[in-house]
């Protein structure tokens, strides 16, 4: 199989994973609908960078370390789950607060917060690195050409950031924003509940050693 075929196969497999609902989707869609399109795009970039980090770690063989020291992997799962629960608590707590439509998302600080929130949410789930490593192990040749080593993180960024850019554009459109503003408290509580559920699932699986 040529390097191009391998690259396209990996990109296709990762695209399916990126489109699967999870905490990243919840985070980007909420940022886009509650803040602005620019914030949503910043969040998409954060997701892309998080994917790059995981791809580099997977290529570097961190999964072998995690499999050798299972306690480390389980600890990362618990820590990631606790972070998601913390985010869920913040979303739930602010559900009844009115949205300040005068706050501009063009400010560097606001956009930076959106970027970091998305990035931290992306890397809070250590299961992702296992998914990346599994795909790489299944599709990469035993001797990886240097071109693929360089191209894969770039492709991962394109897949993750590209998908979440679509999500950001969709949820920052006028109609979704109107719906959100009319039912902000309920939507935020639902988003918080989903995020807490995903975090709790991570914590429980980590504590159970699975």
Q: What is the pLDDT of residues 29-80, one digit of tens each?
A: 989 988 889 999 999 999 999 999 988 888 887 656 666 767 777 787 788 7
Domain ranges of the chain: 3-208
pLDDT 10s digits, 151-202: 999 999 999 999 999 999 999 998 887 888 778 888 888 888 888 888 888 7
Torsion of CA 81, 86, 87, 92, to 10 degrees: 120
Contact by Cβ (8 Å): 33, 172:
yes
- Cβ atoms within 10 Å of 105's Cβ, excluding its own: 18
CA angle at residue 60 from 81 to 152, to 5 degrees? 90
pLDDT value for 79? 83
Res. 206 pLDDT band, cuts 50 70 90: confident
Cα separations in angstroms, 19 against 13, 23, 97, 159, 170:
10, 11, 30, 10, 14
Do 30 and 165 form a contact (C-beta atoms < 8 A)?
no
The upper half-sphere exposure of residue 164, i.e. CA atoms within 13 Å in the direction of its Cβ, equals 39
**Which residue carries 């894969």 as its tokens?**
152
Neighbours of 10 (CB within 10 A): 23
93 sits in the region (left: phi over 0; alpha: psi -120 to 50; else beta) called alpha
What pLDDT is attached to residue 103? Answer: 46
Alpha carbon distance 185, 35 (integer Å)? 15
Measuring CA to CA, which residue among 136, 132, 138 is closest to residue 160? Answer: 132
**Six-digit token string for 164:** 């979440």
**Which residue in 159, 195, 177, 153 sits closest to 56, CA to CA?**
153
């Amino acid at each position: 199989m040529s390097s191009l075929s391998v690259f396209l196969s990996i990109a296709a497999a990762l695209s399916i994973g990126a489109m699967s609902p999870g905490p990243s989707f919840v985070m980007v869609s909420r940022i886009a609908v509650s803040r602005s399109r620019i914030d949503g795009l910043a969040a998409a970039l954060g997701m892309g960078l998080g994917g790059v980090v995981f791809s580099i770690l997977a290529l570097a063989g961190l999964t072998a370390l995690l499999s050798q020291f299972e306690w480390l992997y389980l600890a990362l799962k618990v820590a990631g789950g606790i972070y998601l629960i913390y985010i869920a608590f913040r979303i739930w707590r602010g559900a009844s607060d009115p949205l300040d439509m005068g706050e501009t998302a063009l400010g560097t600080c606001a956009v930076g917060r959106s970027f970091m929130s998305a990035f931290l949410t992306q890397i809070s789930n250590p299961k992702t690195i296992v998914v990346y490593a599994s795909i790489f192990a299944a599709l990469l040749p035993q001797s990886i050409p240097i071109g693929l080593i360089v191209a894969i993180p770039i492709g991962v960024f394109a897949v993750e950031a590209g998908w979440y850019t679509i999500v950001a554009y969709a949820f920052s459109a006028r109609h979704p924003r109107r719906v959100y503003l009319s039912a902000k408290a309920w939507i935020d509580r639902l988003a918080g509940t989903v995020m807490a559920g995903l975090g709790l699932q991570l914590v429980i699986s980590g504590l159970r050693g699975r």
